[in-house]
Amino acid sequence: PRKIIIDTDPGQDDAVAILLALGSPGEIEVLGITAVAGNVPLALTQKNARIVCELAGRPDIPVYAGCDRPLGRPLVTAEHVHGKTGLDGPSLPDPTMPLQEQHAVDYMIDTIRAHDAGTITLCPLGPLTNIATALQRAPGIAEKVQQIVLMGGAYFEVGNITPTAEFNIYVDPQAADIVFKSGIDIVMMPLDVTHKALVTSARNDAFRALGTPVGIAVAQMTEFFERFDKEKYGSAGAPLHDPCVTAYLIRPELFSGRHVNVEIETASELTLGMTVADWWRVTDRAPNATFIGDLDADGFFALLTERIARL
């Protein structure tokens, strides 16, 4: 299985991404989970990460707290999407598993250094603050990371927090800029693909029909979180942004995209955090990311339901 570190700001869709990874031990080995401030402040994201591990029956997964604010800007959160706790919907017990003492950034650096080059994949599901901080502190890790598969950005699908920016990149554009310039092989799941991974009511019924605590909690989470997209965009259900990352690790053939140059807007107030993708190769800037644009949504939901059922 592929060794991964999940860097996350749960978030209902982050939670589903983590559950998908933990339900897929044949393909994915979760070494650790690092929390970052994003959808809600750090105190809640690290707690939510532990709630999710316990829901999955995996209190053995080490969870670390990382950066509590973006590199150069005040934190912007998304309670309007995820609710006050970040994980509104189901009522899940407070975690009893401990939070690790080590800082998430130190954990990431130590872990990458301790493993052979090309054997660890980073999976950021929130703002890129922890990853960028690790790269700044220990630039040598860049050549050891196998790949970064992240949720973030948008191009043809424009923005969800400003007219041109997707939330994860917008919250810490400076961090995103560092990551996209790191030279690490990047696969990105922008809104262009995640807005096609919609939990319709039939798909949500399938989660609930599993009848397990995890299946029911997933149904309740997506039900809560779909309000926002239904009201705002008139979409048919909750877009499962972050699970696209972990699904890609299991079944990459469900996704398609293009290897292009992606640069991050860090200066303009109007378009801050925009992921400028050179889709038509109109510049000679070297491709640095695989921009995923489409997925087999039925295949994705079949996989997700099957793996959630295993927990």
Interface characters, 30-69, with ligand BDR (x: CB under 6 A): ---------x------------------------------
Selection from Ca ion, ligand BDR, none that 160 binds (CB < 5 to 8 A by kind) is ligand BDR
Pairing of strands 186-189, 145-151: parallel
Can you tell me which of 147, 168, 220, 275 binds ligand BDR, judged by CB under 6 A? 168
Could you tell me the two tokens for 282?
A: 């109109």
Give me 49's structure tokens.
Answer: 């990460």
Touching ligand BDR, residues 88-127 (CB under 6 A): 125-126
Q: How far is the CB of 169 from ligand BDR (least distance, A)?
A: 8
Distance (Å, rounded) from C-alpha 114 to C-alpha 250? 24
Residue 189 near ligand BDR by CB under 6 A: no
Nearer to ligand BDR, 171 or 210 (CB): 171
CA–CA gap between residue 199 and residue 190 (Å, rounded): 17
Residues in touch with Ca ion (CB under 5 A): 9, 11, 14, 125-126, 242
Residue type at 309 in one-letter notation: A
Asked if omega into 26 is within 30° of 0 (cis), the reply is: no
Residue 130 or 141 with smaller CB distance to ligand BDR: 130
Q: Which is nearer to ligand BDR, 50 or 241 (CB)?
A: 241
Q: Minimum CB separation from ligand BDR for residue 224, in Å?
A: 13
Contact 140, 117 (CB under 8 A): no
Backbone φ, ψ for residue 251 (5° rounding): -135, 75
Does 242 engage in binding with ligand BDR (CB under 6 A)?
Answer: yes
Catalytic residue, candidates 82, 115, 195, 241: 241
Give the C-alpha separation, 291 to 249, whole Å.
15
Residue 101 beta carbon to ligand BDR: minimum distance, rounded to whole angstroms: 26
Distance CA 251, CA 306 (A): 13
Shortest approach of Ca ion to residue 46 CB, angstroms? 14
Interacting span for ligand BDR (CB under 6 A) from 8-16, 111-119, 263-271, 278-286: 8-16
- Tell me, yes or no, if 241 is annotated catalytic: yes
Q: Does 160 help bind ligand BDR (rule: CB under 6 A)?
A: yes
Let me know: does 33 contact 60? Beta carbons within 8 Å. no
Say if residue 128 is exposed, middle or buried (CB neighbours under 10 Å; 0-12, 13-18, 19+): buried
> Rounded CA gap, 246 and 242, in Å?
7
Query: Using alpha carbons only, what angle is made at residue 256 by residues 250 and 260, rounded to the nearest 5 degrees?
Result: 115
Tell me if 78 contacts ligand BDR by CB under 6 A: yes
Q: What residues are labeled active site? A: 241
What residue ranges bind ligand BDR (CB under 6 A)? 11, 13-14, 39, 78, 81, 125-126, 151, 160, 166-168, 241-242
